[in-house]
Structure 1
């Protein structure tokens, strides 16, 4: 063969092998193919939901666009380092680095897509911030995965390993030389590669680069999530964590004075004086109930007890004990959770704090001390305060939040003596309530007022509880309906003991859910899944059916007033003993969407804020559990009213104006 032929053959081989771009281009092609195939499989699986949206073609087109973003993001670092491939003695190391980096990137994409079906089954959306947050708690998460999702876990790991081996074979295929290109050729194409990577990541010529809001093409949040890849969803959530303090600004921004004025412009706040410029929501709440000796307070925070399980709220008949108890107190017939996670429920019920798109304040750094809670208010007037939990209190940062904000005693799993049953999430609910009863008896004997928060956990995946306690609602045993029925039974046993105790007549009890079990649906916000039961009973409470629309943040001010505790605090919820006739409102945070729901004459009216700064109006019919979105634009007045309410908590947190040390200036 002539020298010219050899040289020409070598040139063609090197051109085909693409020099330093060999692994990068293979990664891009493989990544886009794998993500598209995964999206196709998910669409086939969820075709009934997708078909209702009539965006099938747009879903795939926009999906490729979103996939290009994540692939380009994963290739940014090796592309930036391409010039090293032409440096003597560094070229070999660069090729090894790009090989392992690209292989790891593909493994990440594959693993996240394989984890997606199980996550959708649980949360009705692709993996998001929760996927990262729960990595902090490997014991609880691994236990839940092993006992509740063992088959998907094993299959996912095996499939990831098999696909990794397959991708490695593709990477190693061919007989290409890893010799570097000339400096001129490398640098020339490198400039082009940087432009392409930048364009791919930005994906738009608009003022702001593309983000998940751009791909929200339907009113079904699950279908919207299918447009993205799971890796993109999680990576964007991680990126967004650094913007927590300003998270509400994704909806728009009002001037501070206007925001404060509109946030406090509600009928039940008219009688209060907000006169401290350093703490704009601080006010003196005068208890409506006059008592010589204020009542104790016990809150039973039920894990995942949505209205879907309560017969009198249109759900299943798996809570007979609660149905009996509701006849003995104030029953909230139209109560809504602020979010979908336990920490969001804690934030609302215990701190009376409204929701934001950020993490719950239970987890944020600036709220770990001097943050207004029921515990901090009551501790300041001489109450003994405690938190009782069947698991480990460090989970979801609860120990830090409570101990820094007024809770003096924490009773957790290792302090529960001789439990009859221990599952993935700790001691069973009956062990929890037995311990709580003993604790309340001991506190009562000290003849000091007390506040106790009891947080259940048996109604949590993988739904473990002892045998022989209940007649199963269905087979097999480990189902949510059976777990709810067991949790209800355990609570019923506790209240039977409490009614016979010395502390009953001196104690006010609240039974309320932190959130529903699974918040999902084909609406932009599945409103029906935010509906939860709430009941105040004990002491001298008279039975009452409260039909007014209410939010979890209204419970704390109502409890303080019923207990006979007057105080200065920063909570902006509604005291129903002061005003139970004005039309109510609820605040709902779902993923990156925020809704203000107000009570209308016949139905509930919603303003939904979207993360792209746009808004949409809706009407919710609670009996039919139907949300109808309007095609008419939202008025500026209504949008600003909702915007003020979601901007307020971010402002209070960021400026540290929700302090338990706030003082009231009375005129």
Structure 2
């Protein structure tokens, strides 16, 4: 038997992994979400460099296989070594089982996992030591189990990559890392969204068949265990390849530099993308991004906010009218892309109520979400701050006592609540909102009688709105205004909702159905609210948290960030605001309409003021973008800066203010003014968070010196009309 055959477990599994990765790339290439065409050179790049990356990634991932194989031995079960090894395992088992081990300090499931692993090793050592006649069979079946496990993980990873692409149009990213934390919701979502039993039955069947053939080609290793010298050779070869792989993988990743994002994603290895996302969940802006001297960054910021006093962000917002303490209901709607609404070109009539409500409201027709996760949308309307790199502030440790929407309402004597139909523990919402002065109403607040339908994400929107009406009726009796922030859940995969509500059955799990049911529930909410005595004294703010999908040809495709938003006041005349704006501007604009006077740290602005300069922020967890003057500027890690000219790609039959499709054309010459401005916004926001200067502990007094008066809005007839309607 040649030495080459001693490597058979490695190369058989590696060939299988590369075949699966190759087939996966073909499937993803033709997936409907991959809205792109590829040149021959791009296709060659995807598959050639992709397969090389797969080989090196497998070498690194097979480190556990190498450790298992080199420790297979007969000599270690000879006396007295066998007894010594068994004694060590028994001692370790007792140490972990005592509950006083180092693993117990970490808590959670870790001590149990370690205890189970050591227990299995102890039992196997005892069997191999005391039942030598069964040693070969036990070892063979253990070897078969390890092969089965590797095949299963390879196939499971391919399935996971497919479903992740199906949801987000990319390989693993930061979202996948988050999914490891909230396993209950994620596993529940999978269970309710896909035919899990047939899927996993097929998975295990295919795994068994593949394992059988791989075992046939690899069992020579176990039938004739390599000698010590042969193991040294195997280890030498593996260690050299391992070292080469550690160098090659990140360098191959640098070749993922196409202007077409789909080319980069398809070329990339999913496991390495997951590793990068795990490493980059905390991104220090000052370490990874292009910066300016601090004084210059704040000087540029002050040009955007002339009212800033001093060196930092604090500025006085004053009104020449008395503050209007109307009730406010802010509804952030899950995954409501602009393209779902009629005015933006949708012909399926899936948002009839929202379409009609928009015509009765102050519409913001050119508003962009800051990100592609719910926590980013919630962060935007709560903190009115540009999206900083890495994890959302909501999920960071330092997420409490911030200068927030809730703080300003609390200061004026409002009852302030965050309402969510699911478990507010998810995405750290409970910790964030309770730490910023909000009372929490979530699924745990519901009685069994109040829940008519729920899925893994929580109660259906109808149940949430019914609960909200009860809460607001109780609040109205306290003779205090209320601010209630409601986050919806029904328009989320698996898109299940009660049947017989709309003309799309809830059990077919349709995204269009999820949108239409969300719209239906909102109509019922307004029907109930309109009968309440507090209704006419209430302002309703409706906005999406983010779009339904963020996949596109570029890093930041504009059409995947455009969202509907409007403010409805039952006693106000409808109006439109068509200038470019950001999700972070919505609440400051509301405060302007309510004539609030306050000292602000918000980066968001009242867009109805004549000194507002149109711009919008859009970002992923690592790419930070600014839209201004028909240019998209993107800051990326490693101090990279890209700029794109935005060329409107108009669609017939849609009014100019509702056009959302733009071609992003790389600029040959950078506009340094916009680069500096983008750096200024993101650097100063990161700086204030890092130095804990975005806390609420500013000396804020709603009765601000009357000497600080804002510019009058009387020159803008449309805006003046909107302001008057709120008085």
The structure-2 alpha-carbon separation of the partners of 1:475 and 1:377, relative to structure 1 and needing over 3 Å to count, comes to: closer
How far apart, in 2, do the equivalents of 1:178 and 1:380 lie?
A: 77
Correspondence for 1:7 = none
1:65 partnered with 2:64:
no
Whether the aligned pair in 1 keeps the contact of 2:13 and 2:214 (CA below 8 Å) is no
1:227 partnered with 2:267:
yes
How far apart, in 2, do the equivalents of 1:260 and 1:158 lie?
A: 59
Correspondence for 1:627 = 663
1:594 partnered with 2:613:
no
Correspondence for 1:394 = 425
How far apart, in 1, do the equivalents of 2:2 and 2:699 lie?
A: 75
Correspondence for 1:16 = 4
The structure-2 alpha-carbon separation of the partners of 1:664 and 1:494, relative to structure 1 and needing over 3 Å to count, comes to: closer
Gaps of 5+ in 1: 1-12
Correspondence for 1:170 = 214
Q: Aligned match of 2:29 in 31, 40, 43?
A: 43
1:493 partnered with 2:524:
yes
SS at match of 1:561: helix
1:56 partnered with 2:43:
yes
SS at match of 1:345: helix
1:118 partnered with 2:118:
no
Correspondence for 1:194 = 239
Correspondence for 1:246 = 284
Gaps of 5+ in 2: 83-120, 126-138, 652-660, 709-727
How far apart, in 2, do the equivalents of 1:393 and 1:636 lie?
A: 43
The structure-2 alpha-carbon separation of the partners of 1:105 and 1:528, relative to structure 1 and needing over 3 Å to count, comes to: same
Correspondence for 1:260 = 298
The structure-2 alpha-carbon separation of the partners of 1:592 and 1:504, relative to structure 1 and needing over 3 Å to count, comes to: same
Whether the aligned pair in 2 keeps the contact of 1:339 and 1:588 (CA below 8 Å) is yes
How far apart, in 2, do the equivalents of 1:434 and 1:104 lie?
A: 48
How far apart, in 2, do the equivalents of 1:652 and 1:168 lie?
A: 59
More deviation in 134-143 or 547-556?
A: 134-143
How far apart, in 2, do the equivalents of 1:555 and 1:135 lie?
A: 33
Post-superposition offset of 1:44? 4.8
How far apart, in 1, do the equivalents of 2:506 and 2:539 lie?
A: 37
1:381-460 equivalences in 2 (<5 Å): 381-412=412-443, 414-415=445-446, 417-460=449-492
The structure-2 alpha-carbon separation of the partners of 1:462 and 1:44, relative to structure 1 and needing over 3 Å to count, comes to: closer
1:323 partnered with 2:355:
yes
TM-score (norm: length of structure 1): 0.84
1:206-605 equivalences in 2 (<5 Å): 209-210=250-251, 212=253, 214-241=254-281, 244-246=282-284, 249-266=287-304, 269-275=305-311, 280-286=312-318, 288=319, 290-291=321-322, 293-316=324-347, 317-367=349-399, 369-412=400-443, 414-415=445-446, 417-472=449-504, 478-538=509-569, 541-579=572-610, 582-590=612-620, 592-598=622-628, 600=629, 604-605=630-631
How far apart, in 2, do the equivalents of 1:621 and 1:332 lie?
A: 19
Correspondence for 1:616 = 643
SS at match of 1:366: coil
How far apart, in 1, do the equivalents of 2:178 and 2:506 lie?
A: 33
Q: How many residue pairs end up in the alignment? A: 630
Post-superposition offset of 1:162? 2.1
Correspondence for 1:31 = 17
More deviation in 447-456 or 644-653?
A: 644-653
TM-score (norm: length of structure 2): 0.78
SS at match of 2:668: coil
SS at match of 1:662: coil
How far apart, in 1, do the equivalents of 2:324 and 2:246 lie?
A: 63
The structure-2 alpha-carbon separation of the partners of 1:272 and 1:36, relative to structure 1 and needing over 3 Å to count, comes to: same
How far apart, in 1, do the equivalents of 2:54 and 2:285 lie?
A: 25
1:184-203 deviation digits (Å, cap 9, x = unpaired): x7557745543432221221
1:546-601 deviation digits (Å, cap 9, x = unpaired): 0010110111222223233333342211112433x644111111364332111x3x
How far apart, in 2, do the equivalents of 1:236 and 1:544 lie?
A: 46
